Amino acid sequence: MKRIPICLFIILFAAIQSGIHAQSQLTEHILQLDDPANAAKAQIDDFAWMAGRWEGNGFGGMVEESWNPPMGGTMVGTFRLVKEEKPNFYEFLTLVPEGESIVYKVKHFHPNLTGWEEKEETVDFPLVKIGHNAAYFSGLTIVRNGDQLTHYLSLKQKDGTHEEITLTYTQRTMPVSVAEETFRNVFPQQTKVPIMVLGSYHMSNPGADMFNLKADDVTSPTRQREIRAIVTQLALWQPTKVAVEAPYQDSITIARYQAYLRGEHELGKSEKEQIGFRLAKKLGHSTIYPIDVRMNMNDESIGELVGKNPEKYGRYLASLQSMGEGAMAIMGEWLSKGTIGSMLYNMNDPNLNDMSHALYFQSFVPIVQDDNYAGADMVNTWYQRNLRIFSNLHQINDRPDDRIFIIYGQGHKPLIEQFAKDSPYFRADNVQDYLKGL
């Protein structure tokens, strides 16, 4: 083995030590840059995910922060705090390059625009570390999950300790109406529990759906490598619970997971085990959370109605059959020519999810005659099943810091995420962010 020259060893050791001591943990979520010379390298485009208008509650009032997209090598933002329907203070915010790093600079203003700082002064937060949709400045951490932006701010106390303040914002895409502004004190915003839904094909080929993808063997060495890569990426989201498509509190599923932890159960071919069990084990979870609700879809009445008048209603089912077969062919090609990761990335595209969900209204709801609402009744049952599944999230959510990962058949994803959007208790993060490049 070649010997490393002693001078090179000293240089390497010094570099390692410098990296170790360049930052320290200030609070639970906040870092401190101990050596300004070791500010993290970054470019302004690394912060493009911060752009948008963000609103929330904090400091005893309503807070709003807006960021323009990167332009001219910088980003510019504003902040305001409103208490008792009056402005309390403003901030002018910039992200600017310094050397090979980026610095977060702030100037504060009273409501009359009198500055807090001297004319030439700013409050600066140098960059400690940049991550996936996360920026760790010295004394300030900013993390984005879907339509939620969280700020962790360190406030130094008189005794020298640091208190961590959390501000949670939700992205605002529409202007605030007068009515909404008036009712905000009556319906205050609250912190939402993040969920992440991975819509999957059924890896074990159970043939349980109307249209079923013919999948290859996920236990082959190549597919196992791909699945391990997926689980590694999903673990970065750091879920506290993993929910799977099995009957609510199903003892068999839970027992299998416990046996898997003990090394007494070989993973089956289902996505529930290949991804769900693996992810939970990787994160050190002691149990798994089945949340499914099985229901009869009541499609017999549709067949009866179509049978009585095939000329009028047959075209809806014929069109559905054609589209379904076409979709399976496309996904089969995705899988045969690509990886499972790329397949799941495509399957979880929001636009594709909207298109697949629209089929219920395109193919079933028009099947109606007089007081026989066969198509609408079937769609109603589908909604009811998914709403019950979503309701089970309330039964497993027992911690304020929960982060619930859900793996389900892709057809369930649009409704579960829509219910999360409608709910004041949950929000859905974008799983595609963790599937890129797999």
Please count the other Cβ atoms lying within 10 Å of the Cβ belonging to residue 191: 17
Mean pLDDT value across the chain: 88
Beta-carbon contacts of 260 under 8 Å, excluding residues fewer than 6 positions away, are 267, 273, 277, 281
Confidence of residue 145 (pLDDT cuts 50, 70, 90): confident
- Residues of the chain within CATH 2.40.128.20 domain(s) are 24-186
Rounded to whole angstroms, how far apart are CA atoms 205 and 215?
Answer: 6
Amino acid code (one letter) for 36: P
Confidence of residue 216 (pLDDT cuts 50, 70, 90): confident
pLDDT tens sequence across 334-346: 998 999 999 999 9
Confidence of residue 181 (pLDDT cuts 50, 70, 90): low
Distances (CA, A) of 155 to 10, 105, 110, 370: 38, 16, 19, 66
Where is pLDDT greater, at 351 or 251?
251
Mean pLDDT along residues 60-74: 92
The angle formed by the CA atoms of residues 427, 432 and 438, to the nearest 5 degrees, is 150
pLDDT tens sequence across 75-105: 999 999 998 889 999 999 999 999 999 999 9
Range of lowest pLDDT (154-163, 342-351, 379-388): 154-163
What pLDDT is stored for residue 14 in this prediction?
A: 34
Q: What is the largest CA-CA distance in the chain?
A: 90
Nearest to 382 by CA among 197, 242, 209: 209
Rounded to whole angstroms, how far apart are CA atoms 420 and 243?
Answer: 15
Of the chain, the percentage scoring pLDDT greater than 90 comes to 61
Where is pLDDT greater, at 300 or 403?
403
Confidence of residue 174 (pLDDT cuts 50, 70, 90): low
Q: Which residues pair with 251 in a beta bridge?
A: none
* Burial class for 376, CB neighbours closer than 10 Å (0-12, 13-18, 19+): middle
Mean pLDDT along residues 279-290: 98
pLDDT tens sequence across 301-319: 888 888 888 899 889 888 8
Rounded to whole angstroms, how far apart are CA atoms 184 and 189?
Answer: 8
Where is pLDDT greater, at 251 or 21?
251
Nearest to 29 by CA among 104, 128, 141: 141
Torsion of CA 103, 109, 114, 120, to 10 degrees: -10
Nearest to 51 by CA among 181, 149, 183: 149
Where is pLDDT greater, at 206 or 421?
421
pLDDT tens sequence across 360-393: 999 999 999 999 999 999 999 999 999 999 999 9
Rounded to whole angstroms, how far apart are CA atoms 319 and 311?
Answer: 13
Residue given tokens 């500055």 in the structure block:
115
Mean pLDDT along residues 269-280: 97
3-state secondary structure of 187: coil
Rounded to whole angstroms, how far apart are CA atoms 178 and 185?
Answer: 13
Asked if residue 5 has pLDDT above 70, the reply is no
Q: How far apart are the first and last CA of the chain?
A: 36
Rounded to whole angstroms, how far apart are CA atoms 313 and 305?
Answer: 8
Angle, helix 374-396 to helix 413-422, in steps of 10 degrees? 60
Contact 306, 313 (CB under 8 A): yes
On the CB side of 415, CA atoms within 13 Å amount to 22
What pLDDT is stored for residue 243 in this prediction?
A: 98
Asked if residue 6 has pLDDT above 80, the reply is no
How many Å is the Cα radius of gyration of the chain?
26
How is the beta sheet containing 193-200 ordered, strand by strand?
289-292, 241-247, 404-409, 193-200, 426-429
Amino acid code (one letter) for 219: T
Would you identify the CATH topology of the domain 24-186?
A: Lipocalin (2.40.128)
What pLDDT is stored for residue 192 in this prediction?
A: 86
Rounded to whole angstroms, how far apart are CA atoms 196 and 148?
Answer: 13
Please count the other Cβ atoms lying within 10 Å of the Cβ belonging to residue 343: 25
Mean pLDDT along residues 266-278: 97
361, two tokens: 């209204």
pTM for the structure as a whole: 0.67
Nearest to 206 by CA among 246, 164, 154: 246
Rounded to whole angstroms, how far apart are CA atoms 95 and 20?
Answer: 26
Asked if residue 64 has pLDDT above 80, the reply is yes
What pLDDT is stored for residue 1 in this prediction?
A: 38
Asked if residue 3 has pLDDT above 70, the reply is no
Asked if residue 212 has pLDDT above 70, the reply is no
Nearest to 125 by CA among 101, 149, 145, 143: 101
